[in-house]
Amino acid sequence: MRWNLPNSLTVLRLLAAPGVAVMFLYFHRPWADWFALTLFIMAAITDWFDGYLARLWKQESKFGAMLDPIADKAMVVIAIMVISGYNGMNAWLILPATVIIFREVFVSGLREYLGAAAGTLKVTQLAKWKTTAQMVAIAVMFLGTGLEYLNGVAMKGMTPDQYADAVTAGLADPIRACGKRDCASLAGDVGLVLMWIAAVLTALTGWDYFRKSQPFLRDEP
């Protein structure tokens, strides 16, 4: 195992994965949301830099090749669990989240079973797009959850009509608007759409890996 900058970035990304959940243990919301979002974005950026620097400086290693997909999966799975919990177990989020988690577990198990032959399941361009889509979707969802919490604080338990009257009377601050919509609902809807796109790409890459593994899964006649 060689300790170089690309491998160090990968290790830091792996450590950042549980850090996203830890933010909600040590900080009050919405600070926990903003810190988790910041940590996730920084970790996602290292996902591009570690591979790029390893190729640029010719520092590619078996350790990095092994740890990189593990760090990616840990980041995505832990972040999705946190987001699902703070979104009230929304069924429209749970379904794509289930597809993503199922695929990650399935492909990991498939690679483990194939052993030395797992090299046939090389990372494809579609798989890279899948990872990018997942990380962008999760970042937008984190933004939406934090803004939604701020909306709840502003409304203080009032109904939408009561809140509108309070804002008109100057007794409550208006929620953050993005055009004709409030920013929280806009970020939430965009995040859900991106999550479904990520789930479709995730399912397609999972099927592609399963198809490629078929010759190694057939019993001898």
Q: CATH number of the domain that 53 lies in?
A: 1.20.120
Average pLDDT (51-62) is 75
Sign, Cα dihedral of 24, 26, 28, 32? negative
pLDDT recorded at residue 52? 73
DSSP3 helix / strand / coil % (the chain, rounded to 5): 80, 0, 20
Give pLDDT tens digits for 197-209.
999 999 999 898 8
Distance of alpha carbon 37 from the chain centroid = 10
Angstrom distance (rounded) from CA 164 to CA 181: 14
Residue 161 confidence (pLDDT) above 80: no
Say how many domains are in the chain: 1
For the beta carbon of residue 117, count every other beta carbon within 10 angstroms. Answer: 12
Angstrom distance (rounded) from CA 198 to CA 154: 32
What's this model's pTM, rounded to 2 decimal places?
A: 0.84
| Full residue range of the structural domain in which residue 120 is found | 5-217
Query: Residue 182's beta-bridge partner residues?
Result: 177
